[in-house]
Structure 1
């Protein structure tokens, strides 16, 4: 879930902050520690869009204000601190955050700790996010992993690289939101598309493409996958604001589409588990997790699940994205949403910990800690 920040694209100098200067492989003898290979959109982008001429960027303040490794400077993450993928890696004992593929430091032994290919604005379909000009679609992200795959052969040999990927690496896929928000549901620009393609046809198209993308990764020796379903898109501050809803309401159509897609995604992962020998495809039920956070926010210690902490415009600060001129809340840990589209680090922390140790209603057929140890 991403944005076009018309107030700062041209006026603010691009900050290419590289915070991964000390990435080295943590190894004991011939043993390589676990790692994450991360695919998806702005929910897990760790800075790839910093290196693209894109209108979807998070390399401006106050993004990253609570990211300790950068001393509060923006890194390209679309939140105030860590993403869900960052937190999962930490909790599972991975030595460093997965390095953005487009970073100049994504070379040599650094890639043995994992690589992040995610891109703000990216989607399952190549045309998704075209309003941002440049972004990495899932097809391109898998192409880039193919480059990494060859680099791993050169680093540790083909046999050891294959064993490493099959046993030590977790492949995280968080994609699909933009295929609705910044494609099919895009105000004005996508009216013709909605008239010519039914929701059922769109979702068939998405599932077919994702099947091919996940199968390509499997053929490149990926075996342990966690695939997130699409969250409650109609409940984000942007949707509530532009549709002039009250705090308790959500927009029906985006949520209906997400639920429909999520049902098909569940069937797809069951199919892949059955047909790809040795594979482990986990479904992360982000929709229910985030819905629970929104409905029961007070139970989790939040003060609001409607208003963005950083943004401007409308009742929920949900129109103008987070940037230097934005209004920012005082208690960032008390907001479920950091900006009009993305969760705060506090919300990411709750979701990540549920995925790591949660039951089968949250993540199935096993949780992430169990997947790591398989």
Structure 2
């Protein structure tokens, strides 16, 4: 065989092997990432609502490369945990916010983000912000997306794409405590008539209905985050005037109580909804470990907000143009009084993707994707 023929054959073989490996990667890759929840994963839905909870002001997003450092409505300095997980699992585009004008056509094949700052499991949660999307409305919106998938791909392909290749992530519950049950003014009626047990019962009952409804719309692969140690956020530390190594007891006790019930709920759904896989993401222990051992992870503080004002931990006034901002953003576990920094989100995201059963069970996110 002449040199030219040999080179031609080699090129053809290389092309075939590249095509096959691209197809294999596509077979294994994540289809759509559907993200539900609150400000921990909101990618800009609240920009389109008349609400008091917004993050589309600088310096939010200062490290978000895709927007060249401009605010996008993410409540952090860079990527949310939802962005990081999608990226690490092979997605080339971030899930588009449902309310954004570009959430149409083929853009939705990478996924859609329905999360909303201030949103919760219960419809009354977040009333203090005037407007927000609670879980019931977020699922109503997914129902619209579901019909768009049928039009884009045809009913049978759409069903397969959503059931087998897509992941549904739900990060919700914190606001039900912080901006509902624990709010002294708005929730006084509820607190007189509802014990913590009854309130958690209510949350679990609603979440069961919401997750079952997503299952009826062909969702099969789920990851549900528990509520983190909300008594350890700079806001709670500041208003309760505690030291940097302390956390506020009541919010954490409520979170632990809810998390135990959530774990049981997901086991029940795994048993009762054929073909479904519900992962329990143990964010409470993950974040607790990060806060306790922050130096081990390369952080210099786990108590002070990088961007905020008020009190010892800059924990009262949310991040905005007039806030003081730290110079080393990646050295802070918390970006603002409530939300983790991108550096913290990276640590958390990687443990959910490839971590062990202490942090995500019964399998991790990479295994769920490849299921």
Scaled to the shorter chain, the TM-score interval is over 0.9
- Conserved in 1, the CA contact under 8 Å of 2:30 and 2:167? no
Match of 1:285 in 2: 282
Match of 2:362 in 1: 365
User: Of Structure 1 and Structure 2, which has the larger fraction of its residues in helix?
Assistant: 2
Match of 1:207 in 2: 204
Match of 1:344 in 2: 341
Match of 2:256 in 1: 259
C-alpha distance in 1 between matches for 2:63 and 2:207: 34
Match of 1:243 in 2: 240
Match of 1:322 in 2: 319
Match of 1:295 in 2: 292
The 5 A counterparts of 1:83-102 are: 83-102=80-99
Q: 2:56 aligns with which of 55, 59, 67?
A: 59
The 5 A counterparts of 1:13-52 are: 34-52=31-49
Deviation digits for residues 63-99 of structure 1, max 9, x if unmatched? 0000001010000000000000000000000121000
Deviation digits for residues 167-201 of structure 1, max 9, x if unmatched? 10000000000000000001333223211110000
Match of 1:174 in 2: 171
Give the TM-score taking structure 1 as reference length.
Answer: 0.91
Is residue 151 from structure 1 mapped to residue 148 from structure 2 by the alignment?
yes
C-alpha distance in 2 between matches for 1:92 and 1:252: 36
Match of 1:22 in 2: none
- Conserved in 1, the CA contact under 8 Å of 2:281 and 2:352? yes
Match of 1:131 in 2: 128
Match of 1:71 in 2: 68
- Conserved in 1, the CA contact under 8 Å of 2:38 and 2:118? yes
Q: Which runs of 5+ in 1 are unaligned?
A: 1-26
C-alpha distance in 2 between matches for 1:109 and 1:250: 45
Match of 2:219 in 1: 222
- Conserved in 1, the CA contact under 8 Å of 2:30 and 2:89? no
Over 3 Å off, 4+ runs: 27-33
Q: Which runs of 5+ in 2 are unaligned?
A: 1-21
C-alpha distance in 2 between matches for 1:137 and 1:288: 25
Deviation digits for residues 95-137 of structure 1, max 9, x if unmatched? 2100000000000011011000000000000110001011000
Match of 1:14 in 2: none
RMSD: 1.3
Give the TM-score taking structure 2 as reference length.
Answer: 0.92
C-alpha distance in 1 between matches for 2:344 and 2:30: 28
**Number of equivalences:** 348
What secondary structure sits across from 2:237 in the alignment? helix
Deviation digits for residues 117-159 of structure 1, max 9, x if unmatched? 0000000001100010110000000000000000000000000
C-alpha distance in 1 between matches for 2:270 and 2:69: 41
The 5 A counterparts of 1:298-309 are: 298-309=295-306
C-alpha distance in 2 between matches for 1:33 and 1:89: 8
Deviation digits for residues 332-358 of structure 1, max 9, x if unmatched? 000000000000000000000000000
Question: Deviation at 1:33?
Answer: 5.4
Match of 1:12 in 2: none
Question: Deviation at 1:28?
Answer: 6.6
What secondary structure sits across from 1:72 in the alignment? coil
What secondary structure sits across from 2:317 in the alignment? coil
